[in-house]
């Protein structure tokens, strides 16, 4: 009875879909009539002819899309409206989703800015790729080093024999603090004495004057901010400035401040090298055994830096070989090679120890963390979207049933994720703007948001598109693939949508990864914090509170100290005043050459040898282990040593007090000293390292004045009174003081930065992990609604349900903990090896981290599991 | 109003729609025309003519009910629009006028 099947196939093939129903209906109806009239065989033949009669353009032509060119945007507006309604309806989800994504993007953006800043270091200079620094490579104690401090004859040799390679060869003194004084004002500024080619080499942007300004030996170029600080709004050109009270210079130019990401940004003025040598004539007499200069070069165009490096590599070695072998034995042993370090490598590869890759690794680490956090946030976004798919499944079913095409649904979900990402991005911009000053603070940077750079916005646009596609693709493709009949029937819940045990596997892996990171970070934060506390609690051997230090930067201090001491003590704000060679938080004089009864006392890395004045001990508050302090009563104390316990240990004596030591480093005549006392170790350098063996002796070679404030007066009250005394007695120097406790605290800055960063990343990692977990928990709870209902009907309690839903996650966190512990142990053990004076890795830190991770997990999922467990079984089971 | 765009077959189909109203659709029209003319008429031809008529605005259509012999498929039912009706009347008036002018002897000869 049926019409020919093949004919129907043919018709279905050529006939436009929207006409198939009526055409086939007509054909079949007529076929039925024919069969009744003329019999089946004839009817079948006729049927073929009938079908072929439909082969005409008006039947074949496909109808163009149902909504070919929307003349109005109703449907598009509907998508937007639905998206907004979904956001508004699930406020918690939207908040978590947008917040998580925004935080991920903010972290990625901050880290990106940081990495960009590191990589673009020094690119401010136009001759960036032709500038280099001369370095001495060598080997010391088995470590390869690269020394930027060089002997003077090297520079003269370069200038005499190799000048063809270079456009500039500039000898420079290391940048230091100097006092700049005019008649009206005195300020302390960091500056550099360097030969006159520097403005040309660094392509300084001159606001006043010209690059030639430094050719006059009595000239100075000021940075814009320094010029403003000294001269205010008046024109600084041709004004006179006195440097450190003994060098006269005329301002011949003002240059724009160098940006923060340049090597020279701290240098606030450049003055000619000749001006410095004019008051330090010893400079030009120095030989190969005194390292105190830097040499910067700019290569000629078309010269290859590696070839030049090879050409100059043996300069020092050849010269040393001409000298007395015995005297330069140590220098020859280190096999010094001269080399050029290009400007592009100064910042990240400019370390003293060549194999110390710390800065580069930091860049990699920060970049990786940024990418990783963003990836986690994107995957969380996908997870949360798909976990809610049950809610949207019905919508998809209805949309499809009333005629939505799959492509329309895909574009709907894509536009929805782009909407969320755009909102998240606006939040990100706010977050970054708020967090940038704080981030700069932690990272010791001056990053700015490059709002004016078109390139930046293009990167941002690409960033949004990438994130949008990454995060939006899965929900868009997955949700739009639902079959309307299945979702609308609603018989089988999510299981039938292909989200069984296997589908939740990636989610579980993700949670494990996230928690591995979190637990590792929790452990790291705790250890770093404990290490800092451990070093902070170390006894430091002197009292740093109320101790003021002033550097004697001009020669005017000479001969006035006794008077200063008298006047200061007379104010009543000061207990004691003493001089010393270095600040109490530093050691600036190192020597060897100690012996006792003909046997050497070896100083493995040099010993501190610090000239101090008689009352130094009383001023800094050192503590005696044995013996007595210096006193003015005995003139013989000028041949006395006070040593610290570390030095006493080097001598291997039970009671070193009263022993005689001969001290004769190369540069001075040997002299015998008697040990007067032994003081407890004072932490002058790194608080993580053993104390340096140090001797103190009376010798008038002082650089610092130490002032012990009266503990009964307030600092704020004391300072103006002290300043008045200084202004009166040493008018040429600014009252520029440092507090010992603040200087000491600075020794922790690097570790505290790591600690702060670790803390922040820990919080973020935990937050993002919790988002992932929350998504997974809500997904599970939704999937098992019916199961929970049935279990409750059969008598399970809420507590049972909570346990049932929680135990999976507890297992995941335990796995994460098992992975994280060895990683954290290994990483932190390596880190702690950097410190001699270190805390240990106690087991309880690991246990506490694991426990806190577990607690956070339970808190996060309990919200979902308890909500699911409390649901009335009637509501969860009724819908069938 | 361009009368010339109404072809002969179209005119017949349009008339059939009017005659079979309100139950005019491809199959019955084709059957009716076959019975009336004795030639075989395929539904495809009728369908195409109806499409053209609809495009010109002489008929309007809607989907009607489904029947078993159609395999549950609905049929497209056609009705003559006001414009279609006027066209038919115009055509008929032209013809009538011409018929009336034919000499009655001639008419007798043809019979």
A741: number of CA atoms within 13 Å, CB side?
7
- Chain A neighbors of B51, CB-CB under 8 A: 58
Residue in A24, A50, A54 nearest the CB of B71: A24
Q: How far apart are alpha carbons A705 and A690 in whole angstroms?
A: 26
Taking the CA of residue A33 and the nearest CA in chain B, the distance in Å comes to 9
Is residue B29 within 8 Å of B61, Cβ to Cβ? no
Min Cα–Cα distance to chain B from A47, Å: 10
- Identify the weakest region by mean pLDDT among A371-375, A496-500, A739-743: A496-500
Measured CA to CA, the distance from residue A320 to residue A153 in angstroms comes to 11
Question: Treating both helix axes as pointing N-terminal to C-terminal, what angle do A17-38 and B26-37 enclose, rounded to 10 degrees?
Answer: 40
CA angle A147, A152, A153 (to 5 degrees): 110
Among chain A residues, the shortest Cα distance to B68 is held by A29
Mean pLDDT of A686-704: 86
- What would the two tokens of residue A860 be? 């996060």
Task: Please say if the pLDDT value at position A568 is more than 70.
Answer: yes
Task: Using the structure block, give the residue that is written with the tokens 């080399």.
Answer: A339
* Ordered domains of chain B (ranges, CATH): 3-110 (1.10.10.10)
Do the chains contact at A59 and B26, CB–CB below 8 Å?
A: no
pTM of the complete model beyond 0.80? no
- Distance, CA of A528 to CA of A754 (rounded, Å): 8
Q: Mean per-residue pLDDT for A561-588?
A: 88
CA distance, residue A30 to nearest chain B CA (Å): 6
pLDDT value for B96: 92
Q: Do residues A565 and A708 make contact, with C-beta atoms less than 8 angstroms apart?
A: no
Q: How many CB atoms neighbour CB A805 within 10 A?
A: 22
CA distance B41 to chain A (A): 9
Between A and B, how many residue pairs show a Cβ–Cβ distance under 8 A?
64
Helical residues (DSSP H) of A448-504, grouped into ranges: 454-479, 484-489
Per the CB < 8 A criterion, the answer to whether A674 and A658 are in contact is yes
Residues counted in chain B: 111
- Torsion-angle region of A795 (φ positive above 0: left; ψ -120 to 50: alpha; else: beta): left
CA pair distance A215, A145, nearest whole angstrom: 35
Query: B2: pLDDT confidence band, cut at 50, 70 and 90?
Result: low
What would the mean pLDDT of A669-687 be, rounded to a whole number? 88
The percentage of residues in chain B with a pLDDT greater than 90, rounded to a whole number, is 52
**Residue A443's Cα: distance from chain center in Å?**
5
Residue A253 has φ and ψ, to the nearest 5°, of: -175, 155
Buried b (16+ CB within 10 A) or exposed e, A366-376: bbebbebbbeb
Lowest mean pLDDT among A68-82, A772-786, B28-42: A68-82
Q: Which of B42, B51, B73 sits opposite A50 (nearest CB)?
A: B42
Q: How far apart are CA A674 and CA A495, in angstroms?
A: 89
Q: Identify the closest residue of chain A to B41 by CA–CA distance.
A: A50
Mean per-residue pLDDT for A618-627?
89
Three-class SS of A137-155: EEEECCEEEEECCEEHHHH
Residue-level pLDDT at A62: 80
Q: Which of A21, A52, A54 is opposite residue B74, by nearest beta carbon? A: A21
The encoded tokens of residue A749 equal: 């800055």
Residue keyed to tokens 């603040």: A742
Q: What is the C-alpha to C-alpha distance for residues A242 and A470, in angstroms, rounded to an integer?
A: 62
Per the CB < 8 Å rule, is A58 touching B63? no
What's the rounded Cα separation, in Å, for the pair B7 and B46? 13
Contact B43 A50 (CB under 8 A): yes
Minimum mean pLDDT range among A179-188, A349-358, A502-511? A502-511
- For A841, left (φ over 0), alpha (ψ -120 to 50), or beta? beta
Predicted ipTM?
Answer: 0.89
Task: Mention every residue, 6+ apart, whose C-beta is less than 8 A from residue A247.
Answer: A271, A275, A276, A278, A279
**Predicted pLDDT of residue B12:** 92
Quick one: what percent of chain A has pLDDT higher than 90?
Answer: 9
CB atoms within 10 A of CB A417: 26
Chain B nearest CA to A55, separation (Å): 8
CB A650 within 8 A of CB A695: no
Show which residues on chain B lie within 8 Å of chain A, measured between beta carbons.
Answer: 25-27, 30-31, 42-45, 47-48, 51-52, 63, 66-67, 69-71, 73-76
The pLDDT assigned to A389 comes to 66
Beta strand pairing call for A694-697 and A607-611: parallel
d(CA A868, CA A805): 9
How far is the first Cα of chain A from the last one, in angstroms, to the nearest whole number?
42
Q: Which residue has the tokens 């800092």?
A: A532
Task: Point out the least confidently predicted range of A221-235, A360-374, A431-445.
Answer: A360-374
Contacts of B26 in chain A (CB under 8 A): 22, 26
Angle between helices A454-479 and A358-387 (to 10 degrees): 40
Among A556, A677, A659, which Cα is nearest to A612's? A677
DSSP state of A733: S
Angle between the A785-793 and A798-832 helix axes, to the nearest 10 degrees? Answer: 130
Of A596, A594, A583, the closest CA to residue A658 belongs to A596
- Least CA distance to A1: which residue of chain B? B69
- What is the per-residue pLDDT for A746? 85
In this predicted model, what pLDDT tens digit does every residue of A283-308 receive, in sequence order?
Answer: 777 777 777 888 999 998 888 888 88
Are A206 and A177 within 8 A, CB to CB?
no
pLDDT band at B48 (very low <50, low <70, confident <90, very high): very high
3-class secondary-structure state, position A627:
strand
Contacts of A16 in chain B (CB under 8 A): none
Which of A11, A22, A50, A61 to probe the B interface (max B CBs under 10 A)? A22
Tell me which residues of chain A have a C-beta less than 8 Å from any C-beta of chain B: 21-30, 32-33, 49-56, 58-59
Per-residue pLDDT tens over the stretch A748-770: 887 788 788 778 878 887 888 88
pLDDT at A502 over 70: no
Residues A608, A589 contacting (CB under 8 angstroms): yes
Quickly tell me which residue has 């922040």 as its tokens: A760
Residues 6+ apart with CB under 8 A from B90: B1, B3
- Alpha-carbon gap: A94 to the closest alpha carbon of chain B (Å): 46
State what percent of residues in chain A have pLDDT above 70: 96
**Residues A587-612: what's their mean pLDDT?**
83
The residues, ordered by sequence, that sit 6+ positions from A429 with a Cβ below 8 Å of its Cβ are none
Which residues does A175 contact at the CB level (< 8 Å), separation at least 6?
Answer: A190, A191, A192, A264, A266, A267
Q: What is the pLDDT of residues A796-822, one digit of tens each?
A: 888 888 888 888 888 988 999 999 999
Please tell me the predicted confidence (pLDDT) of residue A706.
92
A667 pLDDT band, cuts 50/70/90, is confident
Residues of chain B with Cβ-Cβ distance to A24 below 8 Å are: 70-71, 73
Contact A59 B44 (CB under 8 A): yes
Radius of gyration of chain B (CA): 16
Q: Which two tokens stand for residue A70?
A: 């929307």
Distance, CA of B101 to CA of A763 (rounded, Å)? 104
Distance between CA atoms of A161 and A314, rounded to whole angstroms? 13
CA distance A121 to A131: 13
Residue-wise pLDDT for B75-87, tens only, equals: 999 999 999 999 9
Which chain A residue has its CA at the smallest distance from B55's CA?
A58
- Res. A497 pLDDT band, cuts 50 70 90: very low
pLDDT at A862: 87
Beta bridge partners of A777: none
For chain A, count helices (H), then strands (E). 30, 26
Of residues B58, B28, B64, the one with CA closest to residue B46: B28
A223 pLDDT band (50/70/90 cuts)? very high
Among the listed ranges A124-128, A328-332, B80-84, which one has the minimum average pLDDT value? A328-332
Name A353's bridge partners: A145
Q: Above 50 in pLDDT, residue A219?
A: yes
- Identify the closest residue of chain A to B25 by CA–CA distance: A26
Inspect the interface and report whether the beta carbons of B69 and A28 lie closer than 8 Å. yes
Q: What is the pLDDT of residue A821?
A: 93
Distance CA A349, CA A135 (A): 12
Q: CB distance B67–A29 less than 8 Å?
A: yes
What are the distances in angstroms from CA A349 to CA A340, A353, A363? Answer: 12, 9, 12
Which residue in A has a C-alpha nearest to residue B75's C-alpha?
A22
Which range has highest mean pLDDT (A405-419, A828-842, B16-30)?
A: B16-30
pLDDT at A498: 46
DSSP secondary structure letters along B47-105: HHHHHHHHHHTSEEEEEEEE-GGGTT-EEEEEEE-HHHHHHHHHHHHHHHHHHHHS-HH
Q: What band does A494 get if pLDDT is binned at 50, 70 and 90?
A: very low
pLDDT band at A495 (very low <50, low <70, confident <90, very high): very low
- pLDDT score of A582 more than 90: no
Cis amide linkage into residue B22, ω under 30° from 0: yes
CB A558 within 8 A of CB A880: no
pLDDT in tens, A396-435: 888 888 888 888 888 888 888 888 888 998 999 899 989 8
């Amino acid at each position: 009875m049926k019409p020919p099947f093949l004919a129907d196939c043919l018709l279905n093939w050529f006939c436009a879909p929207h006409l198939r129903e009526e055409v086939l209906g007509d054909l079949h109806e007529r076929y039925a009539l024919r069969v009744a009239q003329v019999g089946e065989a004839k009817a079948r033949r006729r049927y073929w002819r009938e079908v072929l009669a439909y082969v005409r353009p008006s039947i074949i032509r496909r109808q163009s899309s149902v909504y070919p060119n929307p003349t109005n945007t109703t449907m598009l507006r509907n998508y937007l409206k639905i998206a907004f309604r979904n956001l508004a309806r699930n406020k918690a989800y939207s908040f978590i989703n947008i917040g998580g994504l925004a935080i991920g993007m903010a972290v990625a953006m901050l880290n990106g800015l940081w990495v960009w800043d590191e990589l673009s270091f020094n690119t401010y200079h136009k001759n960036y790729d032709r500038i280099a620094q001369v370095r001495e490579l060598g080997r010391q104690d088995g470590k390869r080093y690269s020394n930027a401090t060089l002997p003077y004859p090297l520079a003269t040799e370069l200038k005499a024999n190799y000048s063809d390679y270079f456009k500039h060869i500039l000898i420079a003194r290391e940048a230091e603090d100097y006092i700049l004084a005019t008649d009206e004002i005195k300020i302390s500024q960091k500056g550099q004495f360097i030969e006159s080619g520097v403005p040309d080499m660094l392509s300084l942007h001159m606001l006043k004057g010209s690059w030639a300004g430094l050719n006059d030996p009595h000239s100075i170029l000021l940075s814009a901010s320094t010029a403003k600080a000294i001269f205010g709004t008046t024109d600084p050109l041709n004004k006179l400035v006195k440097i450190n009270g003994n060098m006269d210079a005329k301002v011949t130019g003002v240059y724009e401040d160098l940006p923060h990401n340049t090597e020279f940004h701290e240098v606030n003025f450049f003055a000619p090298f000749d001006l410095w040598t004019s008051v330090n004539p010893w400079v030009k007499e120095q030989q190969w055994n005194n390292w105190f200069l830097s040499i910067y070069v700019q290569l000629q165009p078309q010269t290859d830096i590696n070839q030049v490096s090879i050409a100059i590599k043996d300069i020092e070695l050849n010269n040393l070989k001409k000298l007395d072998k015995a005297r330069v034995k140590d220098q020859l042993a280190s096999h010094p090679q001269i080399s050029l370090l290009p400007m592009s490598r100064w910042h990240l590869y400019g370390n003293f120890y060549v194999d110390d890759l710390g800065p580069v690794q930091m860049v990699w680490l920060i970049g990786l963390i940024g990418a990783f956090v963003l990836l986690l946030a994107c995957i969380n976004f996908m997870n949360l979207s798909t976990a809610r798919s049950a809610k949207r499944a019905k919508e998809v079913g209805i949309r499809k049933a009333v005629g939505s095409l799959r492509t329309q649904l895909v574009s709907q979900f894509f536009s929805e994720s782009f909407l969320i990402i755009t909102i998240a991005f606006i939040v990100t911009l706010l977050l970054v703007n708020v967090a940038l000053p704080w981030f700069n603070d932690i990272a010791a940077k001056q990053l700015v948001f490059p709002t004016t750079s078109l390139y930046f916005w293009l990167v941002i646009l690409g960033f949004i598109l990438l994130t949008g596609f990454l995060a939006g693709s899965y929900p868009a493709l997955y949700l739009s693939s639902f079959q309307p009949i299945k979702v609308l029937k609603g018989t089988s819940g999510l299981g039938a949508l292909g989200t069984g045990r296997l589908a939740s596997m990636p989610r579980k892996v993700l949670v494990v990864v996230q928690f591995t990171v979190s637990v590792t970070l929790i452990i790291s934060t705790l250890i770093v914090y404990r290490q800092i506390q451990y070093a902070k609690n170390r006894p430091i051997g002197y009292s740093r509170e109320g101790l003021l230090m002033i550097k004697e930067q001009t020669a005017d201090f000479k001969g006035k100290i006794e008077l200063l001491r008298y006047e200061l003590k007379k104010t009543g704000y000061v207990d004691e005043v003493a001089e010393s060679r270095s600040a109490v938080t530093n050691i600036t004089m190192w020597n060897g050459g100690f012996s006792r009864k003909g046997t050497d006392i070896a100083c493995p890395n040099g010993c501190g040898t610090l000239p101090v004045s008689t009352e130094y001990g009383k001023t800094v508050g050192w503590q005696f282990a044995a013996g007595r302090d210096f006193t003015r009563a005995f003139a013989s104390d000028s041949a006395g040593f006070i040593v610290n316990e570390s030095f006493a240990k080097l001598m291997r004596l039970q009671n070193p007090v009263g022993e005689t030591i001969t001290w004769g480093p190369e540069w001075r005549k040997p002299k015998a000293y008697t040990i007067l006392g032994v003081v407890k170790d004072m932490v002058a350098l790194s608080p993580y390292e053993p104390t340096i063996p140090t001797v103190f002796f009376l010798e008038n070679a002082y650089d610092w004045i130490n002032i012990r404030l009266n503990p009964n007066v307030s600092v704020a009250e004391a300072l103006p009174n002290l300043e008045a005394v200084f202004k009166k007695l040493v008018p040429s120097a600014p009252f520029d003081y440092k507090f010992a406790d603040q200087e000491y605290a600075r020794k922790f800055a690097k570790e505290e930065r790591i600690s702060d960063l670790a803390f922040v990343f820990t919080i973020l990692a935990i937050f993002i992990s919790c988002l992932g977990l929350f998504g997974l928990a809500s997904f599970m709870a939704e999937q098992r609604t019916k199961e929970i209902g049935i279990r409750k009907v059969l008598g399970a309690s809420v507590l049972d349900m909570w346990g049932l839903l929680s135990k999976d996650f507890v297992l995941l966190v335990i796995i994460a903990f098992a992975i994280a512990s060895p990683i954290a142990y290994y990483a932190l053990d390596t880190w702690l090896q950097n410190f001699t004076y270190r805390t240990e890795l106690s087991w309880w830190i690991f246990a506490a981290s694991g426990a806190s991770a577990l607690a956070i997990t339970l808190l996060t999922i309990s919200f979902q599991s308890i909500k699911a467990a409390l649901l009335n079984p009637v509501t969860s089971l009724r819908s069938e | 109003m361009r009368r010339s765009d109404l072809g002969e077959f179209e005119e017949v189909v349009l008339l059939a729609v009017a005659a079979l109203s309100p139950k005019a659709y491809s199959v019955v029209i084709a059957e009716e025309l076959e019975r009336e003319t004795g030639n075989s008429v395929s539904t495809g031809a009728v369908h195409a003519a109806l499409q053209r008529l609809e495009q010109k605005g002489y008929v309007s259509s809607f989907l009607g009910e489904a029947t078993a012999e159609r395999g549950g498929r609905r049929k497209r039912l056609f009705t003559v629009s006001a414009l279609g009706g006027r066209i038919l009347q115009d055509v008929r008036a032209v013809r009538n006028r011409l018929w009336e002018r034919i000499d009655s002897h001639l008419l007798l000869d043809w019979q």
